[in-house]
Structure 1
Amino acid sequence: MKKRYWTLVVVLIVLSSCKTTEKDAITFVGELFAKNVIGLQGNILKQIEKPEYSWYISTSQSGEWKELPGIWTNEIVLLTSYVGNFIKCEITYIEPKSDKRIGVSVISSQAVEYKGNPNTDWFKDAGFGIMVHYLKEAIIPEGGAEEWNRTVDSFNVDRFARQVNEAGAGYVMFTLGQNSGYYCSPNKAFDRALGIGPGELCSKRDLPKDLINALNKYKIPLILYLPSNPPINNKNVSEKLRYAFQKDSATSQFNQPILENMIEEWSLRYGEGVKGWWFDGLYSWNDIRSTRMDMSLKHNISTHSLAAKSGNKKSIVTYNSGFGKIHGNTPYDDYTSGEKSTIDEYPLSRWAEDGVQWFLFTYLGEKWGGHGQQFITDSLVNKAVNIVNNKGVLCLEVVTNAKGEILPGHFDQIKAVGSNLRELR
């Protein structure tokens, strides 16, 4: 088994004359390269109530420290802008016995390095994968909880996994839910926020868990899809989460923590079974992006990203900027969101920008969720080969029925793509 973490630490005590023992020492865990997550560990942390964290960077261990705004958690995503800098975390807390305010500083023993983004290596090697919009509004727009649970129960994960493997797809992206308020997996945080019971909006079956198990037989990774905002087409959900009904708009400090709790619950449950996240709708025009990027707010792009990475520190995330030229949307992106209405762009290299894997995402049909075919198969194959040969990653949306059977025309096309890419390797 590979060792995941290694220690990088200098411990200093400030604001107090207390001495630190090896038993009480607080250390960093995680590798110091950009796009990676590092955190804190130490026995003393388990004994502290309500510690406060502040993070800083400096070009030297003894230099002038610059505080990083909006980072208040015990973990941090190392951004490419931190490269060449040392990292410091200050932990302050009230000592229970004396009521003294204690401060401890932890400083990295080396500066943050740039290594590209090793967390995306598997993604680049996969080259080509498929995406499924498995949504209530698309599959059974009529009916309620009973109909939704029956539909989710009907999805044959083993047959779906066999089809994916036969097609040669290197990964699957799958929706947890979108705008209806219905999800294909249980989530206690969501139920609690709405005051509803299990199975009313979240399915009783944990479909992603079953998908993970089925896909693991073929070593095919899973990426999960979610919007960056609460569901907009369910009036009751909008009211309970204090969010605009039928309108994309910025999240608030009331509903953003709920979203993060939902994401964290799923991430912790699935652990390393989920290799990535694709967050939709982080657009500039609807103020979602500007609000999420406001680091003066307690819940922001950092806390959102850490919630997604809570179960798997190596998982990759992206935030969709919408249609347009392929580019990174936030400093926290591990890969481009890549939403396109067709394939009209190709990578010049693996990286769209430092640490951000080049990725294009489009649909096989005449539109998202379309049953037709927008590509001539030979042309599609050539486009896919061009992308993968230049170290980009391609994702093609396919349509399935309720049972998870890929439409024959779409299945034939992804088999053609997969077959030709296999011949290149």
Structure 2
Amino acid sequence: MKKKYWIPVFVLVLLFSCKKLEKPNFSLVGDLYAKNIVGLPLDFQNGKENLEYSWYMASNPAGEWSQLPGIWTNEIVLLTSYVGNYIKCEITYNELGSDKKVTASVGSSDPVVNKGNANTDWFKDAGYGVMVHYLKEAIVPEGGSEEWNKTVDSFNVDKFASQVNEAGAGFVMFTLGQNSGYYCSPNKAYDKAVGTEAGELCSKRDLPMDLIKALKKYKIPLILYLPSNPPINNKNVSEKLRYAFQKDSATSQFNQPILENMIEEWSLRYGDGVKGWWFDGLYSWNDIRSTRMNMSLKHNISTHTLAAKAGNKNSIVTYNSGFGKIHGNTPYDDYTSGEKSTIDEYPSSRWAEDGIQWFLFTYLGEKWGGHGQQFITDSLVDKAVNIVNNEGVLCLEVVTDSKAEILPGHFDQIKAVGEKLREHK
């Protein structure tokens, strides 16, 4: 387990009260490395009400501080643009039972430094993994809750984990849900927002939790997949979440916090059993990216990222920009989304950009969810070796049946990739 360090801090307290109050004894917690999370200790809120947070940075702690827009939370993700700067959080609150406002600030005694992104070390070492689109519309398009629950119940996590291990894959990416409004895991925040009972749209079985346990036997990490927007193909859900039906569009300050509540609930439940998140659909053309990157809004890319990392602060996230050349899509990315229709690009180094691990994600079939095979196996193996030997990461989508059996042609190919990579290691 990585050793945790307390960062030395200076504390500046400003009191707006006639009554002299004790100087609060607290400091920031977390390593001052770009891509890490720094925040206030968990017990800071005790005895305080109406807390408000603002974050600032300065090149010198005695110099001028500039406010970081859109950061309203008790934690902050340290971006690479903060490197070389000192960080400060200003907190305003009422002492319990008092109407007098107190303002305090706490900042770092050292600047933020760039050490790459240690949270992605395991990912780079894994080299390659597999992905499954386990979605109602793909597996059981007809029927409703009963059919979906039976399908989810039939997924044999032990069989699947055994196959993944046999193939030598270093991680698994798995869908929680996508556009149908159905998810393979319970979620109270979603049920409440949509007005459904447990088991209606969210499965009764917690499939990701069972998958975490099965993969843990082989020390294989799990990454979860979600769209960056609410489901678009369920009319009732679209109406309840006030989102455009059958059309990708920007989220609002009504449905964005609902998404964050859903993500945070899953993240807290799974803890360090989930090592990463892959968020689809953060495109420029549909305004989702521009809205999420609007830091004048209370709910934005920062609050979305913190929701995903709530249960595991070292988990990695990416936001998909769509097909195209591999690059970072947001300052909050830990790795590239890397969506490709084939393998036609290779890393020149581990980092696609500062602190962003190079990653490519494509399908083995003739399309996403396709049962055919787009690659000749020998060619696929050579491409995989090229990526991994240059410290990139590769993810291959495989297709399974409802019970978790990977298609024989896909299974043969990922085994061939795994065998060759083991030889090179």
TM-score bucket (shorter structure): over 0.9
Which residue of 2 is the match for residue 122 of structure 1? 122
Distance in 1 between residues matched to 2:5 and 2:146, nearest whole Å: 45
Which residue of 2 is the match for residue 332 of structure 1? 332
Give 5+ residue unaligned stretches, structure 1. none
Identity between Structure 1 and Structure 2 (%): 80
* Aligned-partner SS, 2:142: coil
Dislocated runs of 4+, deviation >4 Å: none
Distance in 2 between residues matched to 1:419 and 1:305, nearest whole Å: 35
* Aligned-partner SS, 1:259: helix
Which residue of 2 is the match for residue 66 of structure 1? 66
Within a 5 Å distance, the mapping from 1:73-92 to structure 2 comes to: 73-92=73-92
Matched, 1:138 2:134: no
Which residue of 1 is the match for residue 232 of structure 2? 232
Which residue of 2 is the match for residue 320 of structure 1? 320
Superposition deviation, residue 27 in structure 1: 1.2
Per-residue CA deviation, residues 61-94 of structure 1 (Å, 9 max, x unaligned), is: 1111010000000000000000000000000012
User: What residue identity is the alignment partner of 2:65?
Assistant: W
Which residue of 1 is the match for residue 12 of structure 2? 12
Matched, 1:363 2:363: yes
Per-residue CA deviation, residues 151-179 of structure 1 (Å, 9 max, x unaligned), is: 00000000000000000000000000000
Seen in structure 2, the aligned counterparts of structure 1 residues 200 and 98 have a Cα distance that, compared at 3 Å, is: closer
* Aligned-partner SS, 1:372: coil
Seen in structure 2, the aligned counterparts of structure 1 residues 199 and 12 have a Cα distance that, compared at 3 Å, is: same
Contact between 1:51 and 1:91, CA under 8 Å: does it hold in 2?
yes
Give 5+ residue unaligned stretches, structure 2. none
* Aligned-partner SS, 1:381: helix
Superposition deviation, residue 246 in structure 1: 0.2
Contact between 2:47 and 2:96, CA under 8 Å: does it hold in 1?
no
Which residue of 2 is the match for residue 378 of structure 1? 378
Distance in 2 between residues matched to 1:185 and 1:372, nearest whole Å: 29
Distance in 1 between residues matched to 2:195 and 2:42, nearest whole Å: 37
Which residue of 1 is the match for residue 420 of structure 2? 420
Q: CA RMSD in A?
A: 1.1
Per-residue CA deviation, residues 104-143 of structure 1 (Å, 9 max, x unaligned), is: 0001011001000000000000000000000000000000
Which residue of 2 is the match for residue 206 of structure 1? 206
Distance in 1 between residues matched to 2:289 and 2:382, nearest whole Å: 35
TM-score normalised by L of structure 2: 0.98
Seen in structure 2, the aligned counterparts of structure 1 residues 348 and 298 have a Cα distance that, compared at 3 Å, is: same
Distance in 2 between residues matched to 1:405 and 1:11, nearest whole Å: 57
Matched, 1:3 2:24: no
Within a 5 Å distance, the mapping from 1:23-422 to structure 2 comes to: 24-41=24-41, 43-422=43-422
Range with bigger deviation, 10-19 or 55-64: 10-19
Seen in structure 2, the aligned counterparts of structure 1 residues 44 and 203 have a Cα distance that, compared at 3 Å, is: closer
Superposition deviation, residue 326 in structure 1: 0.3
User: What residue identity is the alignment partner of 1:87?
Assistant: I
Size of the alignment, in residue pairs?
423
TM-score normalised by L of structure 1: 0.98
